[in-house]
Amino acid sequence: MTLAGIAASLVGRAAQASPNRIIRLKKIKVGATFPFQLANGAPALLFRTKTGVFAYQTICTHQGGLTKYFRAKKLLICPIHNASFNPFKKGAVVAGPATNPLPTVKVAVKSGWVVLV
């Protein structure tokens, strides 16, 4: 392999390891979710719908429990006090004791990748 070929290969690998990239869009089916971590270690969950992608931090806004997504109910629910959030309505609280919605994680699709923006 030539020096130029090696350099091109390394640049391609570096681009794939970009900290803003979450997952290739084609790897997540419509209706699916994908868990990931933010740079600060906070857990987040990516949703893909027919119209696009969106994501939320999955730490409950009540006492910091880790919410879990229940596909059949279409809710993120915290196991500590059963606070529930609707990810399809901007992370809105459906049932308390939480009073604040889940924090949004800004994502977009660029060059076939879901990325943080």
∠ at Cα 81 (88, 93), nearest 5°? 25
Whether the pLDDT of residue 69 is over 60: the answer is yes
Counted domains in the chain: 1
Q: pLDDT grade, residue 4 (50/70/90)?
A: very low
Residue 101 inside a domain? The answer is yes
pLDDT by residue (tens digit) across 5-48? 444 444 444 344 466 999 999 999 999 999 999 999 999 999 99
Locus of tokens 């609707």: 86
Residue 96 inside a domain? The answer is yes
Please report the pLDDT score of residue 12 as a whole number. 42
The candidate with the shortest Cα–Cα distance to 78, out of 41, 89, 94, is 94
- Structural domain including 96 reads 21-116
The CATH code of the domain that includes 84 is 2.102.10.10
pLDDT by residue (tens digit) across 76-110? 999 999 999 999 999 999 998 999 999 999 999 99
pTM: 0.82
Rounded distance between C-alpha atoms, residue 19 and residue 43, angstroms? 15
Pairing, β 21-24 against β 113-116 = antiparallel
From residue 94, how far is each of 41, 80, 114 by CA, in Å?
Answer: 26, 15, 27
Position with higher pLDDT, 7 vs 114: 114
Residue 13 inside a domain? The answer is no
94 membership: H or E segment, kind and range: strand 92-95
